[in-house]
């Protein structure tokens, strides 16, 4: 199933008369809408927000990603033979840290830089854009490798924001071209079945045939995959999992904490806000990250767009 499509008929679970169906194991992304949806949500959340200017900046970046995702021409897509081999071996077919990138991803990067560069962006962002434009292909590829392996130097944090944004577009398009029915969840259920990356957040649904199911959303390729609730997505334990929230807020975003591994991950609840977007709502709830971190939990994995902030 792909994001935005009507859910197909699934197998019944439990008592068929109750109307509960098995959730789809995974939902492939839709590059035509993924980034536009995030941009619109960021704009909505920015109104009256303490980080209004920064959220507006990130919304414009998401808009640039949307333009690139829909402006790039057709591409060969993933090698289907390699995909089949990876799936059979229970490995991610687009393993981010080992995938041989098509050099056309850099075309997307420079289109993104053109779309993101305007007079309203902060001076550090403009400097980061110029530094990327002046780098050769080898240095850009090296920066992309550093990002995907989680070893970015501090001085490259500004430039890697745009590299990460371009790689999100690239991997989202790749994931959308995968044979959905053939894919399988990984043994490490907390990792994306398409590219092996960590999730940015989880969403608990409030509609469709599997209402109440939890889906984790990949921070890189935007694939969503089903993960059982009340189980830590980092260590798989359930004994000491709890939900933390900011007192007095809507309850749409909570931190799921685990006292076994002392990590947390954000969970979004459509029952409290049907418009939640895992990518936008994560950025707009940094206050929750601060409070949970001060209480002693570490985030399960960083948001790739939070290596730099303006």
| pLDDT tens-digit series, residues 151-167 | 888 888 899 999 999 99
Positive/negative CA dihedral, 276, 198, 301, 22: positive
Query: The whole model's pTM is what?
Result: 0.91
Residues across the chain:
310
Q: What CA–CA distances, in Å, run from 116 to 109, 225, 259, 282? A: 10, 30, 41, 21
Q: Let me know: does 225 contact 193? Beta carbons within 8 Å.
A: yes
Q: Is 80 exceeded by the pLDDT of residue 274? A: yes
The domains located in the chain, with CATH, are 34-176 (3.90.1670.10), 182-306 (3.90.1670.10)
Can you tell me the mean pLDDT for 240-267? 94
The conformation of residue 266, written as its DSSP 8-state character, comes to: E
pLDDT average, residue stretch 276-295:
97
Give yes or no for a contact between 13 and 151, defined as CB atoms under 8 angstroms apart.
no
How far is residue 55's CA from residue 310's CA, in Å, rounded to a whole number? 10
Tokens of 106: 């850099």
Strands (E), 84-204: 199-204
């Amino acid at each position: 199933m792909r994001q935005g499509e009507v859910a197909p008929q699934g197998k019944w679970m439990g008592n068929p008369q109750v109307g509960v169906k098995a959730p789809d194991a995974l939902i492939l992304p839709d590059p035509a809408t993924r980034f536009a949806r995030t941009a619109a949500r960021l704009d909505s959340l920015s109104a009256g927000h303490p980080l209004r200017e920064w959220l507006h900046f990130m919304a414009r970046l998401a808009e640039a990603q949307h333009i690139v995702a829909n402006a790039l021409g057709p591409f060969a897509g993933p090698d289907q033979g390699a995909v089949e081999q990876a799936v059979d071996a229970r490995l991610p077919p687009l393993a981010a840290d080992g995938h041989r990138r098509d050099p056309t991803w850099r075309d997307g990067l420079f289109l993104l830089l053109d779309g993101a560069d305007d007079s309203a962006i902060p001076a550090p962002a403009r400097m980061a854009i110029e530094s990327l434009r002046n780098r050769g292909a080898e240095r850009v590829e090296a920066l992309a490798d550093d990002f995907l392996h989680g070893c970015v130097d501090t001085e490259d944090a500004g430039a890697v924001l745009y590299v990460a944004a371009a790689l999100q577009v690239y991997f989202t398009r790749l994931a959308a071209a995968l044979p959905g029915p053939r894919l399988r969840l990984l043994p490490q259920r907390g990792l994306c079945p398409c590219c092996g990356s960590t999730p940015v957040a989880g969403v608990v649904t409030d509609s469709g045939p599997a209402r109440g199911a939890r889906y984790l959303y990949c921070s890189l390729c935007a694939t969503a995959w089903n993960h059982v609730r009340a189980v830590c997505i980092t260590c798989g334990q359930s004994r000491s999992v709890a939900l933390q929230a900011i007192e007095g807020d809507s309850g749409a975003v909570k931190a799921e904490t685990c006292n076994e591994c002392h990590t947390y991950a954000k969970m979004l609840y459509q029952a409290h806000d049907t418009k939640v977007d895992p990518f936008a709502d994560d950025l707009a709830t940094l206050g929750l990250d601060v409070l949970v971190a001060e209480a002693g939990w570490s985030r399960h994995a960083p948001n790739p767009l939070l290596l730099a902030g303006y």
